[in-house]
Structure 1
């Protein structure tokens, strides 16, 4: 398997065609997987916003005040308002905001970025990343597209690449019912392929000012396995989320 960045891409702007800009720079194969950073998807979908677009309501002011008490740092209630508007569930209010986005991804601050945002204060995640991936895929010779983001991980330091939207591939490779080398049947193994490909792409894409936002994974073979699109856990089966509902950070 080969993983390489698409070279010489410009700064993306609203209404740019990611598909066209990629296709002009590289000859893709049908079985390539094209991994696109959510930042550039958000830019072409005009998801740049100013803080002034989010006048803080009472709930946002309450959330910001609680964060200030927890961290000792000044917090802008307008940012809290933006997070609330981009979320369907607020899992933690302190010492940081852990939220569920409107498309089911659990992340800090609803994935809102405040770096590399030309022309605004905030960069919001794409509204519907699966649809974004499908639009990009429709304009490419490659059949598989993943929209990626970076986020922290429970129980570990550091961030890694994850998938927030995908098209042309199942999210997971289901090994249940297959057998290990000793003949034992696998009962729980479901491999989150889109996350693993996103992480591989992130190694090449890099971070900060030198980042390259589109990466191609070539010669990845899904294999003869069942597929699944279940990536985001339902609340009923997410015991960590259920535990968080009964827990609060003491800031008093």
Structure 2
């Protein structure tokens, strides 16, 4: 059995690429000696030049703005963004190197289509069936230094899914999906270099990485887009400061929940975030009562319902009106998990003066609200929906009795927790200036 191995080399002799050039014909003209099963690695810069993606732009930042769909992270002048091609990278891929002063290069409009065109062109010109990757330089989370990755692919098995197999010791492989296209791109970068004017490389000896021509006719050429992790699977979708701001906006009131059980550990992690809120006099005015059993939730909600009905009847409301109002409590009854946050005044000051004593209580109420907001935001970070309902504040003595709480604990509403059954409605944008007064 032969020892596994492959060969990679740069293709010399390519001229300066200009708008309108056919990249496949330029490569073929160098007589690269391609054979079936080779993988041709093409630097995106020459593809961009050929496709007329050179832009007159004295201000590179404005060009980056135009190519940005979403800012992922920002630190000083550096921006990591999602660009129009769906790639997450520095500066949206806008490049001011290897292009005349006063211009920038944008990435190919559709790198997968560019790769397909080059592959077809090489097949027509040279009669070979090769894979083609369009590559660009990326930084990476957790790792210093840059490397080339595939941003466009044709005829290449971009991912090698080994899940379901076993390793040499017979252990099952449950999470191994190899980014073959990126590994090939990095290998090519070793011989192309960043300043050697060698924008094309060839890898030979890995025919298993090249897709059969029959796959193309079946429409089964997935391209490099398959390498981009979708938002639902991206655990690092935002930078640090962006994540903090986004977490606050993701806290939305959810009124319909699935039946999926709530992880008690997730709720406790949210409580841990809650109790970092500011509080007066170095106190800890928060307590969170976790109703983890269906029985405790039912007893509380039944008792609260009975008190609510009695209050509404005392107000002279009709039975029809009462029934309609009571149905508003279904959001708590239908949630798989309830939390009753409570205010405690331990450590508060007593002044013997109504004005100052009222202000003292208000400080503690505000601090409790800050803790509950922390709690709700942290739940959103756990992908849990929530609804903060005020009902327990209107029957505190009932809540204390049913839940056997100290008389000094003041229930401050109830929080319904669970997996959202549907996406919350889009919140209309609010103009900041409407809520700001500057003095």
Query: Secondary structure of the residue that 1:222 maps to in structure 2?
Result: helix
Alpha-carbon displacement from aligned partner over 1:24-78 (angstroms, at most 9, x marks no partner): 21121121100000000000011111115xxxxxxxxxxxxxxxxxxxxxxxxx4
Alpha-carbon displacement from aligned partner over 1:187-219 (angstroms, at most 9, x marks no partner): 0000000000000000000012x2300001111
User: Which residue does 1:193 correspond to in 2?
Assistant: 180
- Find 2:11's aligned residue among 6, 24, 29: 6
CA displacement at 1:117 relative to structure 2: 0.3
User: Which residue does 1:48 correspond to in 2?
Assistant: 54
* Contact 2:37–2:210 under 8 Å retained in 1: no
Query: Secondary structure of the residue that 1:145 maps to in structure 2?
Result: strand
1:98 aligned onto 2:80: yes
* Higher share of residues assigned strand: 1
Regions of 4+ moved over 2 Å: 78-81, 221-225, 227-230, 242-245
1:115-194 aligned at under 5 Å gives the runs: 115-118=97-100, 120-140=102-122, 141-194=128-181
Return 182-191 or 111-120, whichever deviates more: 111-120
Query: Secondary structure of the residue that 1:239 maps to in structure 2?
Result: coil
1:36-75 aligned at under 5 Å gives the runs: 36-51=42-57
Residues 1:29 and 1:224: Cα distance change in structure 2 (over 3 Å):
closer
CA RMSD of aligned residues (A): 2.1
Query: Secondary structure of the residue that 1:162 maps to in structure 2?
Result: strand
* Contact 1:6–1:214 under 8 Å retained in 2: yes
* Bigger Cα Rg: 2
Return 142-151 or 37-46, whichever deviates more: 142-151
Return 41-50 or 150-159, whichever deviates more: 150-159
* Higher share of residues assigned helix: 2
Structure 2 unmatched runs, 5+:
1-5, 123-127, 212-220, 246-439
State TM-score, norm by structure 2.
0.48
* Contact 1:48–1:119 under 8 Å retained in 2: no
Q: Please give the alpha-carbon distance, in whole angstroms, between the structure 1 residues aligned to 2:22 and 2:129.
A: 15
* Contact 1:99–1:106 under 8 Å retained in 2: yes
- Find 1:246's aligned residue among 243, 247, 255: 243
Query: Secondary structure of the residue that 1:212 maps to in structure 2?
Result: coil
Q: Please give the alpha-carbon distance, in whole angstroms, between the structure 1 residues aligned to 2:98 and 2:181.
A: 25
Q: Please give the alpha-carbon distance, in whole angstroms, between the structure 2 residues aligned to 1:224 and 1:205.
A: 21
* Bigger relative contact order, structure 1 or 2 (CA pairs below 8 A, ≥6 apart): 1
CA displacement at 1:155 relative to structure 2: 1.8
User: Which residue does 1:89 correspond to in 2?
Assistant: 70
User: Which residue does 1:74 correspond to in 2?
Assistant: none
Residues 1:216 and 1:224: Cα distance change in structure 2 (over 3 Å):
closer
User: Which residue does 1:20 correspond to in 2?
Assistant: 25
1:220 aligned onto 2:206: yes
* Contact 2:155–2:210 under 8 Å retained in 1: no
The count of aligned residue pairs is 221
Return 35-44 or 180-189, whichever deviates more: 180-189
Structure 1 unmatched runs, 5+:
53-77
